[in-house]
Amino acid sequence: MKQLLVLLCMSLWALAAWSANAVETRDITEPRGEAGQTGRLETITLATQDLDPVRLFYQDGLGLTLEGPLELPPDSIAKQRKLWRAPPELQWQQYRLSRPGTPDAAQIRVLLLAQPTPSQHQSWDSLQLGPFAIGFPNVAQDMLDKRMRRLGFGAQAPMQSYPVTRPDQSQYRVHETIFNGPDFVKAVGIERADPMPPLAPVDPESKLGGPGYSSVVVEDSDAMVDFFTKVLDFEVRADRVWKTSGALGAPAGTEYRFLLLYAKGSGSGHILMLDYQGIAAIDSGREPRLPNRGIVMWSFKTTALDATLKKAKAAKREVIGPLALELPGLGTRRAGTVIAPNGMLIELIEGL
């Protein structure tokens, strides 16, 4: 029962999207109005020391295509090092995980580190602060669940199937598994049964999709919401406070705030924030960025790079750039980075 509660509390959209008191009648994936200055989640950057488990988990299991090592001009690598606040002694090779059948999905940039570095997280415990999961919407969760387990990967619990009630009291079913991946990063395989659309584009041949979103545990969700809405021009589509029944490693009755933030005009590529109320999250003392392993950066494209960096400076956030550099698949672009209130590195790339 506890495992089921963990999955229900960790669900990256269902409880936040619909509740008995909800006033939102549109599906969470339906765009609201016109696009804003910043687009959806474009790239999730992972730092790791071993490519083999990454290949097995994301390529053989989740169906992504691995490319690399990618070649970049030395000048661009030097600029990336500056933008990413990378220690001068840190060396890496760069790879890319993508899903060619769903070009609108996010991609994963893999930094294969040449030397050992600490992991942000010490386990898959969901009480730990920092970015912790990547979402993989699909229309074949039972198939994906069996394949991941055949490959030897563990999960938070057996695949869960549960009903979700809309405000009009009609229901649909959800099938979900939270898989334990390399570097203590989780992958959430999630299927919304017909007639609900997937949470992100799905490849019609493989029936798999994503990356469609990413999630983070924070201590000050107000500061993070201000940053995403006032600096990055995102919007909050779900904001709820729930109580656990002893799940997530917190005592029964512990409240947590559950937020979904979308780029304006987008239907996928959202950010989930989880903020425990009245109980301390686990702090490893390691920043959620390089040189520490795990999810070290989120990247977004923007049509207003200079204005966005100016807003970040006005909000007293640390900013580097803009710098012009060569980026794989994009050519020469200007980019800048910002340290978010929780210490995460946010990369902004000019052009939507």
pLDDT digits (tens, 9 = 90+) for 106-122: 999 999 999 999 999 99
Tell me the C-alpha to C-alpha distance, in Å, between residue 8 and each of 11, 176, 342.
5, 9, 25
> Which has the closest alpha carbon to 345: 291, 304, 270, 273?
291
| CATH (one of 3.30.1360.30, 3.10.180.10, 3.40.50.300, 3.20.20.70) for 2-350 | 3.10.180.10
Is residue 68 within 8 Å of 95, Cβ to Cβ?
yes
- Pick the range with the lowest mean pLDDT from 21-25, 81-85, 158-162: 21-25
Length in residues, the chain = 352
Is residue 180 within 8 Å of 104, Cβ to Cβ?
no
- Pick the range with the lowest mean pLDDT from 58-62, 78-82, 165-169, 300-304: 165-169
- Residue 347 makes CB contacts below 8 A (sequence gap 6+) with 43, 45, 83, 84, 297, 298, 299, 300, 335, 336, 337
Tell me the C-alpha to C-alpha distance, in Å, between residue 339 and each of 44, 224, 297, 352.
15, 11, 10, 21
Which parts of 99-248 are beta strand (E)? 107-113, 130-137, 160-165, 171-180, 186-192, 213-217, 234-243
Domain residue ranges in the chain: 2-350
Measured torsion, CA atoms of residues 295, 103, 7, 175, in degrees rounded to the nearest 10? -160
pLDDT digits (tens, 9 = 90+) for 308-337: 999 999 999 999 999 999 988 888 999 999
- Burial of 1 by CB count in 10 Å (0-12 exposed, 13-18 middle, 19+ buried)? exposed
Count of beta carbons in the 10 Å neighbourhood of residue 253: 11
Q: Is residue 196 predicted with pLDDT exceeding 90? A: no
pTM of the full structure:
0.90
d(CA 242, CA 16): 9
Sequence-ordered alpha helix ranges (H) in 86-207: 141-150
Q: Is residue 147 predicted with pLDDT exceeding 50? A: yes
> Which has the closest alpha carbon to 128: 19, 297, 274?
274
Which pLDDT score, from 0 to 100, does residue 3 have?
Answer: 41
Which pLDDT score, from 0 to 100, does residue 206 have?
Answer: 95
Count of beta carbons in the 10 Å neighbourhood of residue 241: 10
| AA letter at 105 | A
Which pLDDT score, from 0 to 100, does residue 253 have?
Answer: 78
In this prediction, residue 251 has a pLDDT band, given cuts at 50, 70 and 90, of low
Tokens at 282, concatenated = 């686990």
- 337: phi then psi, degrees, rounded to nearest 5: -130, 150
d(CA 342, CA 275): 12
pLDDT digits (tens, 9 = 90+) for 17-65: 333 333 456 788 888 888 889 999 999 999 999 999 999 999 999 999 9
In this prediction, residue 168 has a pLDDT band, given cuts at 50, 70 and 90, of low
Say what percent of the chain tops pLDDT 90. 70
